[in-house]
Every structure is written in C-alpha cells, then in structure tokens.
Amino acid sequence: MALAVAGSVYRSARTVARTRAVVPLATAASDTPLPPPVTIVVPARDEAGVLHECLTGLRAQTHPGTLRIVLVDDGSTDGTGDIGRAHAAVDPRVRVVRVEGPPPGWAGKVHAMHVGIERAGAADAGEWLLFVDADTVLAPDLLGRLLATAEEVDADLVSTPGGPPAGHSASWPLLMPAGLQMIGENASPDGRGRKAFAIGHCLALRRSYYEKIGGWRTLASMRNEDVAIATTVRDHGGTTRLVDGADHVTTSGMDPFVQGWASFRKSFVAGARGSVPVLLAGGLGQIALSLAPPVATLAGLRGRNPALAAVGLAGWAAQGVAHARTAKLMRADSRLAPLAPLTGALFGGVLLDGAARVARGTVRWKGRRTTS
C-alpha cells in the first residue's frame, strides 16, 4: 500500500512539473511589418449547433495578415453546410468544401483537415496553418497572440486548450483534471517527452513543417491526431509548445457530461490503439493509484499506524495539488481538489468503459466507428 501511495505521489509531482512547462500566451500580437498569411481549416461533422459562433470568432480575428478560412463539411446530416455557406456569402475569405466521409484507411477528422489544405491550394495556403475545432470559439486577438507566442519561443507548432463555456457541465471539474494528467504522463508540453503534447481545439503549424512531415497523409489513420502531429513535427526537428490560452479560447466539446465522457473515451481508445488489455490495465491502475492514499490513511488510523496514515495523507495532499494545477490550466473549478482520489478513480471508469465498448465493437464517434 505504501508503494502504491509513493507511485501516486510521484505521478502527482510529475504532473505539477509538466504544467510549469506550458508557455504563457503572448501579451500582444507581433508588430512585424509583414504579418504572415494564415489558412484556417475547420473540420465539421454535424456541428450546426455551434458552428456559427466558431466562424463568427474566426472572421473577427484582428490578425492583420491575410486570412483564408476553409470549412470542411464532413458528411453532415444537419445544417452545418448551410451555416458555412451563409458565412461565405458575406465574407469572401470563407470557403465551404463538402466531403462524403473519409476513404478507406483515413480517420474522418484527419481526412477533413487534409482536404481543407488541399482545396486551399499550396500556393495560397499561407505561412501558417491553423486547425480549429468547430465547437471552439476564439477571442478576436487570439490568432495574433498565438503566432507572437510561437515567435517568442521559436516554435514550429503551438496549440492551446479551450476553456469552458458559461454554464458548463460537470465534466470540467470531474473529468478534466485527471484526464489532462493522464495525457500529460505520456506527452510533454515542451515536446521533450516520449510524445509531444498538443491539443486539437486550436493548433497552429508552420506550413514548411506541414510539408516536411508529408502533411496529414502520413497520419491518415490517426484518431489522436493532435499528439500524433506534434510528435511527428518534433521527430522531424521541429519545436512544439503547449500554450496557456484558455482565457481566449472556449470549447463546448466537453458538454454535456456524457459528451465529455465520450470525448475522453474516444481519445484514450485511440491512444491505446483499441487494445482491450491496455485499456483495462490503464483503468484499473488509475483507480488503484487514485484510491491508495485515502485507503492508506484510513488503514493507518484504524490500525493505529501513524506512519502509514501520514504516508496516506501525504499522497492525498499531493493528488490535491496536482488536481488544482490541472484544473487551473483548463479553467475548471479547483474546489474539488480535496476529492482528487475520487475524481481520479472516476476517470479510471472512462478507460474501463472504453475497454468494454471495444470488446463489444461499439466504440463510435459522431456515428462512425473509431476503431478499425
């Protein structure tokens, strides 16, 4: 039990250290006399409920460089395409492309982003490429400040998470801290770990590196495409950074709670490559490490073993600190930090749910299977 608590303390300390590697957003856009042209690609499948706010935010960007916005309607069955065409009718920078789903060997979102760049045209694609989820809204100055951040840290790929919308669901305080911790254990915000951490809500990439890695075509089947492209850029000599821009980016993709649960489940099933044993081990390990400190505390108190109780309390406190740091990064309520063992164990259920669904062949996202 003491060893399990020690493992919990170690991973909590590692989480805190990695949150410190997240780069702050630049305070202002760059004042360079030649601001870079940017192509923005928005992959969208059945996003009629949120797309208008996304496109409105993109069109309102104060970045003085040339903007080209390509909405890729990925086989939507709602009014996604109509909303995009309404924006295109009043803003020549907006273009709508329709695709009827991905061809064999491609993940839907990756294919949509690939098509967006292809349809923009290589000559007109711009010095920077920005990929934005359709459920994400950018503040008017976000693009300029994000590119300025890339200049300050000499990065070739930068991404930022989105913060919660007003009236957000319980997925933010209950799932987000543990989810971010688990992703961060395998991917580093500064790109120096086994994998490079990136978040697909809002991801900017130099076009030169997009071409150097072979574009999305080289990652055609990936469903954890944000971490995959950041790691690939890093492995090709590029610099990647996770940026703290959540005050200027909002995402509704984690709401309501059931959608937040499903979103994390999809990501971890993809990260485990659909392996039931990996998902089971990850889920059970997450539950065991999360609950070890309170169990040790109670066992020490009941058995009159002050040393064990002290170890348990230290592990509990460490989990609370890690929970508070990840919650702060994602702009989630950190008041549940004392309950970190319970929220951590709850997140283990996400992985176990993923294992069960993979075993039954019922893992789907937006009507499509997410495992081959």
Q: What secondary structure does DSSP assign to 160-180, as a single string?
A: EPPBPPTT--THHHHHHHHHH
pLDDT more than 90, % of the chain: 87
The confidence score (pLDDT) of residue 122 equals 59
Two tokens, residue 145: 């400040």
How many Å apart are CA 220 and CA 176, to the nearest integer?
27
Please report the pLDDT score of residue 371 as a whole number. Answer: 56
- Kindly give the interhelix angle for 2-19 and 171-184, rounded to the nearest 10 degrees: 90
For 32-82, write each residue's pLDDT tens digit.
888 999 999 999 999 999 999 999 999 999 999 899 999 999 999 999 999
pLDDT of residue 73: 97
Largest CA distance in the chain: 74
Place of tokens 């790691």: 231
Tokens describing residue 341: 């063992």
Length of the chain: 372
User: Is the Cβ–Cβ distance between 117 and 125 less than 8 Å?
Assistant: yes
Question: Residue 121's pLDDT is what?
Answer: 73
Structure-derived torsion over alpha carbons of residues 23, 27, 32, 33, reported in degrees to the nearest 10:
150
Q: Which of 372, 106, 74 is nearest to 220 (CA)?
A: 106
Residue 28 has a CB neighbour count (10 Å cut-off) of 10
In this prediction, residues 259-273 reach a mean pLDDT of 93
Model pLDDT for residues 79-112, shown as the tens digit of each residue: 999 999 999 999 999 999 999 989 999 999 999 9
Over residues 192-236, the pLDDT tens digits come to: 989 999 999 999 999 999 999 999 999 999 989 999 999 999 999
Question: Which of 307, 65, 102 is closest to 223 using CA atoms?
Answer: 102
Q: What is the pLDDT of residue 123?
A: 57
The amino acid present at 210, given as its one-letter code, is Y
pLDDT exceeding 70 applies to what percent of the chain?
A: 97
How confident is residue 120, by pLDDT bands cut at 50, 70 and 90? confident
* pLDDT digit string, tens, across residues 145-187: 999 999 999 999 999 999 999 999 999 999 999 999 999 888 9
Quick check: helix, strand or coil at residue 106?
coil
> Domains of the chain (ranges plus CATH)?
2-17+269-369 (no CATH), 22-253 (3.90.550.10)
Give the pairing type, strands 202-206 and 136-138: unpaired
Euclidean distance between CA atoms 259 and 184, whole angstroms? 21
pTM comes to 0.94
